[in-house]
Amino acid sequence: MIFKYLKQSANENVNAMYYLGVCYANEIGTKRDLIRAYYCFSKSEREIKEAYDALMQIVRSQDDAFLDEADAFLEKTDKI
């Protein structure tokens, strides 16, 4: 249930964006999706240190193909 509310408010609130990333990364209310977690953390990492740390953890744990896919998702989503 909390996932639904975070998703609705994430575009307006950097804290909600961070916690939405936590949900995606840890399968809280949704399936694990590291690309969406990467997206959420990248949108909140300038203001929330934990988001930056989580983003760096994903970056260090994934290969270049994942990072290319995540960056493409980020670019595509920003244009919507």
pLDDT of residue 56: 96
pLDDT of 70 over the 80 cut: yes
pLDDT of residue 77: 82
pLDDT of residue 79: 56
Please, which pLDDT band fits residue 80 given cuts at 50, 70 and 90? very low
Task: Give the residue numbers spanning the domain of 69.
Answer: 2-78
pLDDT of 40 over the 90 cut: yes
pLDDT of 69 over the 50 cut: yes
In total, how many domains does the chain have?
Answer: 1
**What is the Cα–Cα distance from 22 to 17, expressed in whole angstroms?**
9
**What is the Cα–Cα distance from 37 to 58, expressed in whole angstroms?**
9
pLDDT of residue 9: 78
